[in-house]
Amino acid sequence: MRLASRFGWALLLASACGQAAVQAVDGAGNAIALDRPAARIVSLVPHATELLFAAGAGGKVVAAVDYSDHPEAAKKLPRVGGFTGFSLEAVLRQRPDLVVAWQDGGTPRELERLRRMGVPVFISHPLQPDDVAREMVELGKLAGTDAAAARAAAGYRRKLATLRQRYGGRAPVRVFYQLSQTPIFTVSGKSYIDALIRVCGGVNVFADLPLPAPQVSTAAVVAAQPQAIVAGDDATLAMWKRWQALPAVASGALLALSGDAIAIPGPRLVDGAEQLCARLDTARQRLGLTAR
């Protein structure tokens, strides 16, 4: 976006928000304005819970949803819902002055009801690794923790840039990233995981598919001839061992990532990326590849 366009957007946002004390733009491009920094925040998605804590606003989060397990303090928060949705009544009982929701959470009607009741809703929608830092900054503005959020975002960006500089120029490795075993789901170029593969110098064999998390067949994987197969556990990877002609199997480049850092688009994403880059470097060694 050109500077003039950004300046124009800033003027428009300021005009729309009037004398609002704090204002930000959410992941869907919506302007959010509050009369004062949010003091009671409800998070309706685990990755947003992590973003809020990283932005220095953890002490203002009064409730969250299931699987909001990071950091440790988040485990103690009251639950207002889970993967399939949230309880509007439970959210309202928390008297929130800000709700952070997910773009793809499947609860648009309930979110609209919250807005009609006067509850501001911030939509979190990190599509790429850099979006994580941007949303940390925007949430910090709304929570009044700007300085802490800026520091966290800068640290995140610095780690990501270091990984990109260190691994991005190494010999490319054709990667199949497996999300599930039955059925087989993977990631396309529309996923932030694809971006991390590229940060590590890898090439996603299914980058051209139209959906962010497409389903693929065993035959399609075999035809793609990946040099490395990456999954969250050894049990998922074991299914490929009978395909000895696959370069990834022949070289032993069946690579498991521990934990869930790379599965959640939050501040720990750079830690997951570091692990992924190290695994792909292992594949390079086994394949006998040299830096380009």
Domain edges within the chain:
3-156, 170-287
pTM: 0.87
Burial of 266 (0-12, 13-18, 19+ CB in 10 A): buried
Asked if residue 212 has a cis previous peptide bond (ω within 30° of 0), the answer is no
Helix (H, G, I), strand (E, B) or coil at 258: coil
Interaxial angle between packed helices 192-199 and 146-167, expressed in degrees from 0 to 180 and rounded to the nearest 10? 50
Look at residue 16 and tell me whether its pLDDT is greater than 80.
no
Mean pLDDT (whole number) for 205-231: 96
Task: Please name the fold of domain 170-287.
Answer: Rossmann fold (3.40.50)
Count Cβ atoms below 10 Å from residue 28 Cβ, excluding itself: 12
Mean pLDDT (whole number) for 88-100: 96
Place of tokens 């648009």: 108
Structure tokens at 24: 């930000």
Check: CB of residue 66 under 8 Å from CB of residue 160: no
Percent of the chain residues topping a pLDDT of 70: 91
149-178 tens-digit pLDDT: 999 999 999 999 999 999 999 999 999 999
Question: What average pLDDT does the chain have?
Answer: 91
Look at residue 25 and tell me whether its pLDDT is greater than 50.
yes
Look at residue 13 and tell me whether its pLDDT is greater than 80.
no
Same fold? 3-156, 170-287 = yes
What pLDDT does 19 receive? 52
Look at residue 205 and tell me whether its pLDDT is greater than 80.
yes
CATH of region 3-156? 3.40.50.1980
Torsion, Cα of 125, 161, 7, 141 (10° steps): 60
Q: How far is CA 90 from CA 41, 78, 104, 154, in A?
A: 13, 9, 21, 35
What pLDDT does 1 receive? 40
Mean pLDDT (whole number) for 129-137: 97
What pLDDT does 166 receive? 95
185-198 tens-digit pLDDT: 999 999 999 999 99
Look at residue 14 and tell me whether its pLDDT is greater than 50.
no
What pLDDT does 122 receive? 97
Cα angle for residues 262, 265, 267 (degrees, 5° grid):
90
Strands (E), the chain: 22-25, 31-34, 41-43, 61-63, 81-82, 85-86, 98-102, 121-124, 173-177, 202-204, 228-231, 254-256
Structure tokens at 33: 């304005």
Instruction: Choose from 8-12, 104-108, 241-245 the range with maximum mean pLDDT.
Output: 241-245
